[in-house]
């Protein structure tokens, strides 16, 4: 009699692992309803309004290597006047100088988008992260100010912003906005236009990255990414790109700003 066919013995399925037990039990708190008021309420209004604007986006990178050196040189000199010199005053002044060539970007449009006003003053707004949320004070008449004067004004606005003491004079009348989100982090952003303005730029964190020099050598470059948004009903992409090129050229070759400084 042949032996019965041998049946393979099934491998036992391992017992499931027990769920990890948290050493410290986490309490489930209560949901909290917060009224939307103050600066946040203002943001609801302006950002809802801006949703009706068709945004055109444009990004480029700026080699800040020369400007990083220049700022390091000038920082001490500014401190003698009690002024803290970050990159922002250069970004703002270069924007104003480029706006002189492209005034259509320093403009406002009316509610029905029937009229555009090219603004005589360059009141450059800067998005500011404060304890009370996002505020956008502006530096008035940047076209008439030196880089040092822009820096001093920026220091004043920043200190008022931190104390929650910015007044409506500083918060209204902006004509163009820059948002230095790179002070917190990040590279690219998608900035939202502050109506009735027509353009805004967001600046990323300056990063040290390898880039090629004029003769093909690799060097450690300080790179800033800039992301622009423009109101595509009234601004075409070519204008935004040309403005960005000029702004970038001032920052990449800060000595060239001297030629046009008044
Ligand atoms: N890349 C690298 N370093 C940066 C930088 C950047 N993009 N921006 C700022 N820094 C540096 C500054 O040069 C400064 O360095 P030092 O100590 O060596 O001088 C330091 O970081 C601190 O700068 P700061 O933030 O105090 O000053 P600032 O003039 O550069 O920026 C302000 C001022 C108000 C724009 C910024 O503090 C801020 O609030 N940014 C956030 C903006 C924001 O929230 N945007 C989102 C809007 S949409 O919700």
Return mean pLDDT, the chain.
94
Judge whether 31 counts as a catalytic residue: no
Q: pLDDT category, 231, cuts 50, 70, 90?
A: very high
Mutational test site, ligand 1, from 74, 92, 183, 223, max ligand atoms within 8 Å of CB? 183
DSSP 3-state assignment of 201? strand
Taking only the tens place, the pLDDT of each residue in 71-97 is: 999 999 999 999 999 999 999 999 999
* Residue 188 clears pLDDT 70, i.e. is over it: yes
* Residue 154 clears pLDDT 80, i.e. is over it: yes
For ligand 1, atom 11: residue with the closest CA: 183
Residue located via tokens 């400007």: 67
Name all residues whose Cβ lies below 6 A of ligand 1: 86-88, 126-129, 134, 154, 158, 179-184, 203, 205-206
Q: pLDDT category, 3, cuts 50, 70, 90?
A: low
Q: pLDDT category, 166, cuts 50, 70, 90?
A: very high
Percent of the chain with pLDDT over 70: 97
The ligand 1 atom at the shortest distance from the C-alpha of residue 158 is 34
* Residue 6 clears pLDDT 90, i.e. is over it: no
Rounded to an integer, what distance in angstroms lies between the CA atom of residue 199 and that of residue 79? 32
Q: pLDDT category, 1, cuts 50, 70, 90?
A: low
* Residue 69 clears pLDDT 90, i.e. is over it: yes
pTM of the model: 0.90
Q: Mean pLDDT throughout 154-176? A: 95
For residue 127, report the distance from its CA to the centre of ligand 1, in Å: 10
For 131, counting Cβ atoms within 10 Å of its Cβ (0-12 exposed, 13-18 middle, 19+ buried), the class is: exposed
How far is the first Cα of the chain from the last one, in angstroms, to the nearest whole number? 113
pLDDT for residue 105: 98
For residue 87, report the distance from its CA to the centre of ligand 1, in Å: 8
Taking only the tens place, the pLDDT of each residue in 104-141 is: 999 999 999 999 999 999 999 999 998 888 999 999 99
Q: Mean pLDDT throughout 9-33? A: 83
Q: pLDDT category, 10, cuts 50, 70, 90?
A: confident
Q: Which of 110, 111, 236, 260 is catalytic?
A: 236
DSSP 3-state assignment of 58? strand
- Residue ranges of E strands in 26-137: 55-63, 107-109, 116-118, 124-126, 128-130, 133-135
pLDDT for residue 23: 76
Instruction: Reply yes or no: is the peptide bond before residue 191 cis, omega within 30 of 0.
Output: no
pLDDT for residue 224: 98
């Amino acid at each position: 009699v042949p032996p019965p066919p041998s049946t393979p013995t099934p491998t036992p399925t391992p017992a499931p692992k027990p769920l990890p037990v948290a050493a410290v039990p986490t309490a489930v708190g209560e949901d909290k309803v917060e009224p939307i008021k103050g600066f946040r309420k203002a943001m609801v209004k302006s950002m809802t309004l801006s949703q009706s604007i068709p945004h055109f986006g444009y990004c480029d990178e700026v080699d800040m290597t020369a400007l990083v050196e220049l700022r390091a040189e000038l920082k001490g000199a500014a401190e003698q006047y009690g002024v803290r010199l970050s990159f922002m005053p250069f970004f703002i002044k270069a924007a104003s100088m480029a706006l002189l060539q492209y005034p259509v970007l320093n403009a406002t449009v009316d509610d029905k988008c029937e009229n555009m006003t090219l603004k005589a003053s360059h009141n450059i707004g800067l998005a500011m992260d404060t304890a009370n949320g996002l505020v956008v004070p502006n530096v008035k008449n940047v076209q008439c100010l030196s880089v040092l004067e822009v820096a001093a004004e920026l220091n004043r606005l920043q200190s008022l912003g931190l104390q929650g003491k910015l007044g409506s004079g500083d918060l209204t009348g902006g004509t163009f906005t820059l948002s230095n989100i790179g002070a917190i982090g990040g590279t690219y952003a998608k900035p939202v236009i502050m109506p009735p303005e027509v353009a805004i730029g967001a600046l990323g964190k300056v990063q040290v990255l390898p880039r090629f020099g004029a003769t093909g050598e690799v060097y450690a470059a300080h790179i800033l990414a800039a992301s622009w948004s423009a109101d595509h009903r009234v601004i075409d992409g070519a204008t935004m790109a040309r403005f960005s090129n000029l702004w970038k050229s001032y920052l990449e070759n800060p000595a060239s700003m001297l030629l046009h400084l008044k």
